[in-house]
Amino acid sequence: MSVHSGPRKVSINTLMNIKREGGKFSCLTAYDFCSAHSVSAAGVEVILIGDSLGMVVQGHDSSLPVTIEDMAYHVRCARRGNQGSLLMADLPFMSYYSEQKTLESAAILMRDGAQMVKLEGGAWLSESTRLLTERGIPVCAHMGLTPQSVNHLGGYRVQGRDPNKAQEIIDEAKILEQAGASLLLLECVPVELGRRVSEALAVPVIGIGAGPHTDGQIMVWHDLLGLYPGKPAKFVKNYLAATGGSVTDAIRAFDQAVKDGSFPAPEHCYE
């Protein structure tokens, strides 16, 4: 047996290889030991400790109240359950308003066990993205619907329907890739824009409500299991109800559906 063999360990390179080979990968949020363990053990490539925890764990009506201390706590909880998935963590609202602040906030999450950080925004983040990657901190850019800007956007709405805005998203995504971003998460955009962004970038694109053409798909743990009260977004599928089985069956069904291309189906997409 090789000394290098051991449990599966997903890295950015793993995701790049999946994209190069035309495959798909799955991602789920997790915020604690048990959810991270279930997600990871089921073979999901990426775990996001998302600031969506402000809504699904803390019960706020947005992610804005989430602090860097909250994020750090959940990163520490989730990392203990992780079985080799790539652990990505959100920089929360106002934790990256300057370049210095960005480095300090990212360092906190990386020391606690995150393997990459995610920042919401476009080209204005290019210098911070460059600084982080030059210092060895991988970056996922988050574009399209950026929930930390919900007040500026006027609600949780589909982004990039207007052709000029769509082109702006593509252009700014390329700027962030140039600056060093090694992943892009694209939220709530029409199917065609999801396809165009994924084709325009060499780095993998993860979609949520961005259609079936992105390289990966992500869902919030509580949505996958139908735990969040209220009307789910169009891009949500309750896999626990769909499989009628256990939580493990639900995660496996999601992972399988992402990889065989059957999720998202047209009813989960914006035309």
Pick 3 or 176: Cβ nearer ligand KIV: 176
Pick 52 or 128: Cβ nearer ligand KIV: 52
Size of residue set near ligand KIV by CB under 6 A: 11
Q: Could you say which of 187, 199, 267, 271 is catalytic? A: 187
Tokens of 220: 């919030």
Q: Is 50 among the residues that bind ligand KIV (CB under 6 A)? A: yes
Residue 7 CB, nearest approach to ligand KIV (Å): 25
Query: Which residue among 35, 40, 52, 126 contacts ligand KIV (CB under 6 A)?
Result: 52
Respond yes or no: is residue 187 known to be catalytic.
yes
Binding range to ligand KIV, per CB under 6 A, among 34-42, 50-58, 68-76, 156-164: 50-58
Residue 40 CB, nearest approach to ligand KIV (Å): 16
Query: Which residue among 32, 51, 215, 255 contacts ligand KIV (CB under 6 A)?
Result: 51
Q: Is 198 among the residues that bind ligand KIV (CB under 6 A)? A: no
Binding range to ligand KIV, per CB under 6 A, among 12-20, 43-51, 159-167, 244-252: 43-51
Residue 177 CB, nearest approach to ligand KIV (Å): 18
State which residue has the least CB distance to ligand KIV. 50
Pick 42 or 220: Cβ nearer ligand KIV: 220
Query: Which residue among 68, 185, 193, 251 contacts ligand KIV (CB under 6 A)?
Result: 185
Residue 187 CB, nearest approach to ligand KIV (Å): 6
Footprint (CB under 6 A) of ligand KIV, residues 208-247:
208, 218, 220
Residue 1 CB, nearest approach to ligand KIV (Å): 38
Tokens of 218: 């992500």
Query: Which residue among 24, 26, 29, 263 contacts ligand KIV (CB under 6 A)?
Result: 29
CB 210 within 8 A of CB 144: yes
Footprint (CB under 6 A) of ligand KIV, residues 112-131:
none
Residue holding tokens 């390179």? Answer: 13
Spatial separation of the C-alpha atoms in residues 157 and 40, rounded to whole Å:
31
CB 184 within 8 A of CB 197: yes
User: SS in 3 state form for the chain?
Assistant: CCCCCCCCCCCHHHHHHHHHCCCCEEEEECCCHHHHHHHHHCCCCEEEECCCHHHHCCCCCCCCCCCHHHHHHHHHHHHHHCCCCEEEEECCCCCCCCHHHHHHHHHHHHHCCCCEEEEECCHHHHHHHHHHHHCCCCEEEEEECCHHHHHHHCCCCCCCCCHHHHHHHHHHHHHHHHHCCCEEEEECCCHHHHHHHHHHCCCCEEEECCCCCCCEEEECHHHHCCCCCCCCCCCCCCHHHHHCCCHHHHHHHHHHHHHHCCCCCHHHCCC
**CA angle in degrees (0–180, nearest 5) for 94-53-240:** 150
Active site residues: 187
Which residues lie near ligand KIV (CB under 6 A)?
Answer: 29, 48, 50-52, 90, 185, 187, 208, 218, 220
